[in-house]
Chain A
Amino acid sequence: MSPLQVRTIARAPVAAGAAARLELLEFFLVHSDDIVRCAQASLDWLLRYAGVRQSACLAVDGEANLLVGIAAAGVPGEDIELFSWPLSDTRDPLVMAVNAPQPVSFKAARPNGHPQRGLPVTPLGPGAFVALPLRGVKESSHDGEGALGLLLMRGPSSITPDVQWLATVLGQKVEQIRGRGSLSEEVRKLRRERALFFTIINAVTDPILLTDTEGRLIVANARAEKLFASSEEESEGRRRAIELNNMLFSAALSRTAVVQPDPEARELLLVDPSDGSDLLFEVLSTTVEDPREGTGIVSVLRNITDLRRATEQIEENYQKLRVAEAAARAERDRLNLIIDSVADPIIVTDPTGSTVLMNAPAEEVFTVGFNAPEIAQRTVQANDAHFSSFISGLLLGVSGPGEIRRGEIALTNPNTQKPIPVEAIAGKVQSETGELTAVVTILHDRTEALERARLFEQLRLGADELQMRVQAATAELAQQNELLRRQAIELEQASRLKSQFLANMSHEFRTPLNAILGYTHMLLQGVAGDVQPPVRRQLSRIDSNGRHLLQIINEILDITRIEAGKMPLQVTDFDVNELVPEVMAELDPMIARSKLPVRQRLDPRIPMVRTDRQKVKQIVVNLLSNALKFTHEGGIDIEVSFEPAGRTASIAVRDTGIGIAPEHHEKVFEDFRQVDDSPSRQYGGTGLGLAICRRLASMLGGRITLTSNIGQGSTFTLIFPVEAEP
């Protein structure tokens, strides 16, 4: 076992002068009863003055019959303190060296690396060394007696006088201290404590290290040695791993010392030299002050690789758990949201009938605040009772899974006290084993449905009534139509009868009138002989009145014919300029009697007209005879003109007669009307002439206009289209 970092204080070996020897002896005097410190001072002295590189001091424990290490220089401290060698085997080279009178040299191990048989394992480690027996004054006198101890050293090629001197001085000092009987007990106690200490720290499964402020290793327990100490025989890989670990640890320590002087847990990643895997440690470093050793750092490394792995596992599981929990919560929230967003109350009941869950609409019906009015409290209780009795039927009944129970429950709104007719639909929820786990009930508010049904019924009644009314109205209408149809038939019949009657009447009038006029005419013709003038005058009266009567009858007949539609248009082509002279010729006797000048002004531009010639002529005859009748002086003008734009012809009859007041202009065209309606009227005529003219003009598609005033004459104008519509 050779630590990488040994406690080597490099000092050039110098020959010890008198002063150096005096200094050591002085130390012996000061620490007269401390064998360990004296031995240590001696070894240090050897290193400094005698060119010794490594040395150890072993003492014989007579009682235990052991050779034990008490001090060392150039080698780890714990090694020497743990060193213990039995003295029972007298053939053992080291035991033999104790008993030898002279220093014994031990040869180095063979080049094959195996420890040389017979070469003892000493605190100096493998390799050649020299063992000097330590003897007191008394022992030196008794030859063959065992030495008090051994001084092992490696370094000078030969035993110098300084070494010889020191061995003598030290031997005497050891004898002196042991002579007082304190050495053995002292060393044994110390050894026990140290052994116990190392047993304890080796028993600790965590690596424990004591380093100096420079980072050099002072003490390490077995677990720490595995990580930080390697022997030369070990493989390259292990050595490199250990080297790396030492560097990492030093770096961690220096960081601790500089940055974090207070004890603080730090994490340190090391390499397992046995398999190369990563090991995570938690390093707890504490600075310790020792008056002898100076300042050191105690570091405890706790392997947290598994812990970390477990922690990570736990963290991972925790994350998974949280995700799962969040998902579950989201699902639950979603369900709650869905349930709450359903407008219908939903209640979940457990098998005992207790409510497990209800949504917001259900809460409105089945819950009420503590400070709510008493009536609301009672309503809620009543609602609860109604619901419970409904649900108990389902709970008691034996039924298979998926059974749905429907029923109507009369609930009341606790806040408004309005009745809520609901349809309850309850379904069982069963576990896989068929055990009833819950009952879900949905209450469907039927208020709206009932209201709708009521409105629908009203609507239907209204519609029925409306339909009946429509039917009644239709029937009445049909009846009215039938009545109207009959009336129309009757009217038509009446009209036909009237026309027939008038036609017959006119025939009946004509027959006797024919005889009256005929005989009067014959008498006036002198068929029965000469007629005396007075008789002639009387016959003339009969004749003129008979003619008047005939005219009346003819005009009545004309109106009847027009109204009966028995005077159809007979359209022919003719020249208006020829028609006017013809009318004048027809009325020539009357013109002659009137002694009035009748002038005609024809229009050469007028084209041939296509209309009912007979009707135009009848109108002009009528207008001219009227003009002659109502004009006493002046004259009469008949003027024909043509209006190319409207394609109308006009025949105006202008007289200088008595005239007609404007308020009577319309009246003169009415049936049986003259301006003078009195029975003793001055002018003859039936009063039907203009009425007939207006009707005839209308049949032609034309009209008759009148311009006149009292005393200023009258102008009647017939205006008609040159092409009549058939």
Chain B
Amino acid sequence: MTDQTNALILVVDDYQDAREMYAEYLQFSGFRVAEARNGNEALEQAFALKPDLILMDLSLPGMDGWEATRQLKSDERTRHIPVVALTGHALAGASDGAKRAGCDSFVTKPCLPDDLVVEVRRMLNAVQKQV
């Protein structure tokens, strides 16, 4: 596994402002960043780039985040990649649905870029400890 500071983070969000904001701040925080706008792109990028962590917005056009996560987690090549779900849906059950789909962590928007980086680091550390 690569060093945490060089880790590749795949940010999946259809909302450009949010995607670019998190991408910009993750790069500012020292991470490598890849972006995807929907589920299909997320799968392509994940299989192609094998990121160290995926930030997955759940409400996506076309294939949504839940479906994309399920496919990633059912595939041998991507199963090990931690997925941190991002959603603006704060209703109870949203996090449960995300967990069922295979997400490893769950973050409710709005989430300040700083807080997000804290969560990303925590997840990467958890994976490194497992390994």
> CB within 8 Å of B: which residues of A?
503, 506-508, 510-515, 517-519, 521-522, 525, 527, 550, 554, 557, 561, 566-568
The residue from A506, A521, A527, A566 contacting B112, defined by CB atoms under 8 A apart: A521
Q: In chain B, what residue has the closest Cβ to A503?
A: B91
The CB with the most chain B CB atoms within 10 A, among A515, A527, A550, A567, is that of A515
- A616 to chain B minimum Cβ distance, whole angstroms, is 17
Besides A510-B110, A511-B18, 7 other A-B contacts (C-beta < 8 A): A511-B15, A518-B21, A518-B25, A518-B111, A519-B21, A527-B28, A550-B110
The CA of A521 and the CA of B117, in the complex, are separated in Å by: 13
CA distance A522 to B25 in the complex (A): 7
C-alpha gap A561/B110 in the complex (Å): 18
> Which residue of chain A is the closest to B20 with respect to CB atoms?
A515
Query: How far, in Å, is A331 (CB) from chain B's closest CB?
Result: 103
* Cβ contacts under 8 Å, B80 to chain A: none
Given contacts A503-B89, A566-B92, contact A514 B109 (CB under 8 A): yes
The verdict on A567 contacting B90 (CB below 8 Å), with A510-B110, A519-B21, A522-B113 known, is no
Give the CA-CA distance A484 to B15 in the complex, in Å: 44
Q: Given contacts A503-B89, A503-B91, A567-B92, are A514 and B24 in contact (CB under 8 A)?
A: no
Inter-chain contacts of A521 with B (CB < 8 A): 112-114
Asked if B18 contacts A515 (CB within 8 A), the reply is yes
Count of residues in B whose CB is under 8 Å from the partner chain: 21
Docked complex Cα distance between A165 and B72 (Å): 208
| B residues 1-36 in Cβ contact with A at 8 Å | 15, 17-18, 21-22, 24-25, 28
Say yes or no: A506 contacts B90, CB within 8 Å.
yes
Are B112 and A518 touching (Cβ within 8 A)?
A: yes
A to B CB contacts below 8 Å, 5 in the list:
A503-B91, A519-B21, A527-B24, A557-B91, A568-B92
Which of A518, A566, A567, A568 has the largest number of chain B CB atoms within 10 A? Answer: A518
* A338 vs B24: C-alpha distance when bound (angstroms): 124
> What 0/1 readout, one digit per residue, does chain B (87-128) give for beta carbons within 8 Å of chain A?
011111100000000000000011111100000000000000
The smallest C-beta distance from A106 to any residue of chain B, in angstroms, reads 180
In the docked arrangement, what's the CA distance between A527 and B29, Å?
9
* Nearest chain B CB to A249 CB, angstrom units: 149
Question: Residues of B contacting A507 with CB < 8 Å?
Answer: 59, 88-90
Residue of B nearest to A521 (CB): B112
- Within 8 Å by CB of B18, from A508, A518, A557, lies A518
Bound: A399/B112 CA distance, A: 122
Q: Which B residues are in CB contact (< 8 Å) with A522? A: 21, 24-25, 28, 113
Residues of B within 8 A of A512 (CB): 17
A700 to chain B, nearest CB (A): 16
Across the interface, do A514 and B25 meet the contact criterion of CB distance under 8 Å? no
Instruction: Give the docked Cα–Cα distance between A514 and B16 (Å).
Output: 12
Of all chain B residues, the one with the shortest Cβ separation from A513 is: B110
Shortest A512–chain B CB gap in Å is 8
Taken together as a complex, chains A and B put the C-alpha atoms of A357 and B22 apart, in Å, by 127
Complex contact B110–A527 (CB within 8 A)? no
- Contact, CB under 8 Å: A514 / B88: yes
Are A514 and B91 interface neighbours, CB within 8 A?
A: no
Is B88 a contact partner of A511 (Cβ separation < 8 A)? yes
Contacts of B17 in A (CB 8 A): 512, 515
Question: Which residues of A are found within 8 Å of B93, using beta-carbon distances?
Answer: 566
